[in-house]
Amino acid sequence: MPVVVMRKTCLLSCLLALLLPILSRQEEHSKLLLVSFDGFRWDYVNRVPTPNFRALMEEGVQVEKVENTYITKTFPNHYTLVTGLHAESHGVVANEMYDPVLNHSFSMEGPEIYDSRWWEEAVPLWVTTQKAGRRSGAAMWPGSDVAIGGTYPTRYMSYNASMPFEMRVEKLISWFSGANAIDFGVLYWEEPDESGHNLGPESSLMDVVIEDIDRKLGFLREKLKRAGLYDKINLIVTSDHGMTQVSHDKVIELDAYVSQDLYTWVDKSPVVGILPKKGKFDEVYSLLENANPNMVVYKREDIPDYFHYKHNVRIMPIIIEAKEGWTIVQNRTGSFMLGNHGYDNHLRSMHPVFLARGPSFRTGYTKATMRSVDLYPLMCSILGVQPLPNNGSLASVRDLLMETPTPRPTLPSVPREPQSAWVLGVLLGAVLVVGFLVTFVKQVTQRQLPPLPLTNREISQPLLQEELRL
């Protein structure tokens, strides 16, 4: 082989050896773990020492006010977090629903949660992550053990309320480790919601519950550190909603105003879904309209636009919203709670906590306000996954992220590789083409070897493909 060709080949392969690791490192996207402590109100971190929550604030970002979506219930808001859609658009409009088209009812405590049709008005982020060729894992997040559009998370567990938090964490961390590690994880824990309902958020007994959640967060941090993941993973700790004190003295009994024969009671207090019997709409509405000053009665089409809670047949024709702290029942025979949520999402008491830390996030940064629908585009940006149409805005939460530009998934037609990798690819391609031309011209003019040496072609082809793909 002539010396000149060998030198060219060496030059190219040396260039490749130098640049390829940079290219592939650029393509490695951040990992993300989204944690929800159900019913963790934003201000719980201030009422007892919470050293682990504090540590996250110092190491990362916190948002003081997160406006979640109406109604401020568990299933609607958990689905909003992973879709970026308001409830009317993702279809999980309540914990208890009736769909007049399917003629089916849904209760979050029933087996209907496994009927994927309830979830398929939207696509959750774990499915989109997998469609982008990456892996996800889910520990009990609402909807994560359902085949949505035929797809489960890559790794998941069937819902089991008795499975301890620690076990969920250990499982998730094992999924984040080793070969075929997941890129995106979701973790759900039932507290402090359950205690908040039973004790009421004002009860001093709640202090112990909050301290326990902080210890659980500490367990998660410790396990991530031991697995060598703590500084690699982006950790978001948030919740679906807050909690407010309710009382036996603030009860509205619908039986006093309208007979149970006239309607079906679909969703529970504090935003009650009323389905009038056939032909009874006007009668039910006029009986309820001005019945009690501590509730507001809406026809579906009159629900204020700012709730984004109107355009879905699963929203009942009549909605009754209790004022904060009030409970709506049919009569006083049922059981009674001391805390509840579901009220107007503009009430401070309904807002969740929000903290995040990790390589993609700024450190020691406090942001005044965001909407929970904005979390979805933020997570897509961190993961480098193209977001589906949603109601959030990356622009309004981008300041939570480190300044260094990472993935640019919001550009409509550009694939998920970061811009710097794209530039490198083009540069490398150009170098190769020039290298080729020089070699080729020399070969042809010297007429010593066939025009395209095999060695060059072998090196260049994967790279040219790489360039095309970029």
Ligand X SMILES: *[C@@H]1O[C@H](CO)[C@@H](O)[C@H](O)[C@H]1NC(C)=O
C-beta closer to Zn ion: residue 102 or 347? 347
C-beta closer to ligand X: residue 389 or 450? 389
Q: Where are the alpha helices (DSSP H) in 84-147?
A: 87-90, 125-131
**171 contributes a contact to ligand X by CB under 6 A:** no
Catalytic residue among 9, 74, 83, 128: 74
Q: Read off the tokens for 452.
A: 């395209």
Whose tokens are 């499982």? That residue is 171
How far, in Å, CA of 88 to CA of 98, rounded?
14
Stretch that binds Zn ion, among 91-99, 131-139, 186-194, 218-226 (CB under 5 A): 186-194
User: What's 409's DSSP letter?
Assistant: T
Q: Chain centroid to CA 265: how far? A: 30
Write b or e for each residue in 396-434: b if 16 or more Cβ atoms lie within 10 A of its Cβ, otherwise e: bbeebbeeeebbebeeeeeebbbeebbebbeebbebbee
The item of ligand X, Zn ion, none sharing an interface with residue 238, based on CB under 5 to 8 Å by kind, is none
User: What's 117's DSSP letter?
Assistant: G
**77 contributes a contact to ligand X by CB under 6 A:** no
- The site that binds ligand X (CB under 6 A) totals a number of residues, namely 16
C-beta closer to ligand X: residue 107 or 455? 107
**389 contributes a contact to ligand X by CB under 6 A:** yes
The item of ligand X, Zn ion, none sharing an interface with residue 465, based on CB under 5 to 8 Å by kind, is none
Strand (E) or helix (H) holding 10: helix 3-27
**458 contributes a contact to ligand X by CB under 6 A:** no
**103 contributes a contact to ligand X by CB under 6 A:** yes
3-class DSSP assignment, residue 224: helix
Among 180, 204, 290, 333, binds ligand X (CB under 6 A): 333
Among 19, 20, 48, 163, binds ligand X (CB under 6 A): 163
**391 contributes a contact to ligand X by CB under 6 A:** yes
**89 contributes a contact to ligand X by CB under 6 A:** yes
**193 contributes a contact to Zn ion by CB under 5 A:** yes
Helical axes 206-226 vs 51-59, angle rounded to 10° = 50
How far, in Å, CA of 185 to CA of 198, rounded?
30
**335 contributes a contact to ligand X by CB under 6 A:** no
Q: Which of residues 302-321 bind ligand X (CB under 6 A)?
A: 308
Q: Chain centroid to CA 124: how far? A: 8
Cβ atoms within 10 Å of 175's Cβ, excluding its own? 21
Residues 6+ positions from 383 with CB-CB distance below 8 Å: 29, 30, 32, 125, 129, 132, 134, 183, 184, 407
The item of Zn ion, ligand X, none sharing an interface with residue 89, based on CB under 5 to 8 Å by kind, is ligand X
Stretch that binds ligand X, among 56-64, 67-75, 84-92, 406-414 (CB under 6 A): 84-92
- Taking phi over 0 as left and psi of -120 to 50 as alpha, with beta for the rest, 178 belongs to left
**Shortest Cβ 308–ligand X spacing (Å):** 5
Strand (E) or helix (H) holding 267: strand 263-267
How far, in Å, CA of 16 to CA of 160, rounded?
51
**Shortest Cβ 399–Zn ion spacing (Å):** 31
Stretch that binds ligand X, among 69-77, 126-134, 217-225, 326-334 (CB under 6 A): 326-334
- Residue 74 catalytic? yes
Q: Read off the tokens for 92.
A: 């999980």
Find out whether 49 and 209 touch, Cβ atoms under 8 Å.
no
**Shortest Cβ 5–ligand X spacing (Å):** 56
**Shortest Cβ 147–ligand X spacing (Å):** 19
The item of Zn ion, ligand X, none sharing an interface with residue 193, based on CB under 5 to 8 Å by kind, is Zn ion
C-beta closer to ligand X: residue 150 or 389? 389
User: What's 41's DSSP letter?
Assistant: B
**160 contributes a contact to ligand X by CB under 6 A:** yes
How far, in Å, CA of 110 to CA of 55, rounded?
38
C-beta closer to ligand X: residue 42 or 326? 326
Among 13, 330, 410, 419, binds ligand X (CB under 6 A): 330
The item of ligand X, Zn ion, none sharing an interface with residue 268, based on CB under 5 to 8 Å by kind, is none
How far, in Å, CA of 87 to CA of 89, rounded?
5
C-beta closer to Zn ion: residue 96 or 193? 193
Binding site for ligand X (CB under 6 A): 85-86, 89, 103, 160, 162-163, 167, 255, 308, 330-331, 333, 389-391
- The residues that are catalytic are 74
